[in-house]
Amino acid sequence: MCKTCNNTGGLSIDNGYYLEFRPCPDSHCDFVRDDSDLERLKARLEQSMRESA
């Protein structure tokens, strides 16, 4: 469990107008991003692009 980012993988910085997301600066951060959903979505997008071409 990373205490710097609370295991979110980064920090939200409030700039007043918008929130900026910075990757966790802690070199000991043990956060592991789960990209499995993103990879599935990308594969589906590529497939539908091929089918419409």
Sign of CA dihedral 9, 13, 19, 20: negative
Closest distance to Zn ion from the beta carbon of 26 (Å): 5
| Residue 11 interacts with Zn ion (CB under 5 A): yes or no | no
For residue 7, how many other CB atoms are within 10 A of its CB? 13
* Helix/strand/coil for 45: helix
Span from 4-12, 13-21, 33-41, 44-52 in contact with Zn ion (CB under 5 A): 4-12
Q: 12, 20 in Cβ contact below 8 A?
A: yes
Site for Zn ion (CB under 5 A): which residue of 20, 26, 39, 46?
26
Binding site for Zn ion (CB under 5 A): 2, 4-5, 24, 26, 29, 31
